[in-house]
Structures are given as structure tokens and as C-alpha cells.
Amino acid sequence: MALILFDFDGVLADTLGDLLQFGQEVCNELGVKHVATLDDVSSLEIMSFATYGQQLEVPENLVDEFVRRCLAKFGEKKSPPDIFKGLGEVIRELSTSNVIGVVTGNSSQNVKAFLVEHGLGGHVRAIFGLDSPGSKAEKISLAQDQFASEGEAVFMVGDSASDIHAAREASVKSIAVSWGHQSAETLIRAEPDFIVHSPRELMEVIATYA
């Protein structure tokens, strides 16, 4: 039995195309003369909509508005983003004997719509989104307090250096996934406890170390 916490964008949801598109659209709306590229996302040490806006050269006084508009575009999209291949089956299997949660910089509403779309609503116990107070590390600790027994294994599964740092700050194990928004080289520099390259490998790590 373990508590397994997943980041959302780039871990569960394949949102890279949407991030680039929506980031560009909002820059255009706000009059920011920047062309959003893959490097803008992959080079972020701290993965959040606010830092993404800063990377796109959004003026500091407009960053909050950038975040609001990006989240709204995700929410207004006709269908939620795709799930990475094989992850749905892994989540279902893991949830039979573990507690699954999501800790994300996206909104809880967007995550819920995604989970329902992919038949995972009943397999995820809690969502700690942008609308929940605290830093990512604080949200991890809150989830641990609520759902993990003393001495029980807790994993944070992320695709960015900031996910790894948050896990370390909260004193839980970090699992970095290489299919997300940041390169394997960036993830390795952040020194995760584990790095995996497929959903099946993720399940094997949890089964071995939970």
C-alpha cells in the first residue's frame, strides 16, 4: 500500500500542444510580442503557468491575467487532452491497492474533466490543484497527512525539476517521467530518486519500493 501523487500536465495529460497554442493565443491577446516554442516549456526549472508566462516575456503585472486566460482556455476546450498511452491501465491497476492523488498547477476543474473523460474519476482519491492553498511541497505534505499511514511509502510522480524539488522538500520519494515537458537531462540534474521511461516501468518501480 502506498500513496502515489501524480503531477497533471506532462505526466497524465499530453498538454504540450495545448500549452504552446494557448500560451501563444494569450500572448497575442495581451499584446506580448513573443513566439511560443518548445524550448520555452522544456527550459523551465519551475513548471507553472506563472513561470511559463514569464518565460514568454509577459510583463509581471499581466502574469496573473496570463494564468487566468490560459486556464480558461483549457477549461473551454471541447474535449480534455489525451492521456499518455498506457497510463490509464496503470492508474486503474495501481488504484486497486494504493491511494492515487493529483498535485498540480492546473485547476481541479480541468483535472476532473480529464479524469471523467478517460474513465479514471473513480480511481483518483483527491486533487490538489491551483485552487488549493500552498506550494506544491505543502500540497504533497497535506496529501500525506490525509491519506498515508505512518511509515507508508509516498511517491510524487512528475515531469519537471520543480516536481523533484517539491518531493524532496516534503520528504517523499520522487519519480521522474521522461515522456513529459522536460528533457531527461534536466530531470537527471535534479537528482530524482527514480526516473522511468514508460508507464509500465513506473508501475514496476512502485511495486518494488512501496
So what's the pLDDT on residue 110? 92
Buried b (16+ CB within 10 A) or exposed e, 55-75: bbebeeebbeebbebbbeebe
pTM listed for this prediction? 0.90
pLDDT tens, 113-151?
999 999 999 999 999 998 899 999 999 999 999 999 988
Model confidence band, residue 26 (pLDDT cutoffs 50, 70, 90): very high
Q: How large is the average pLDDT for residues 101-124? A: 95
So what's the pLDDT on residue 184? 86
Nearest 5°: phi and psi at 130?
Answer: -60, -30
**Angle in degrees, CA 17, 19, 21, rounded to 5:** 70
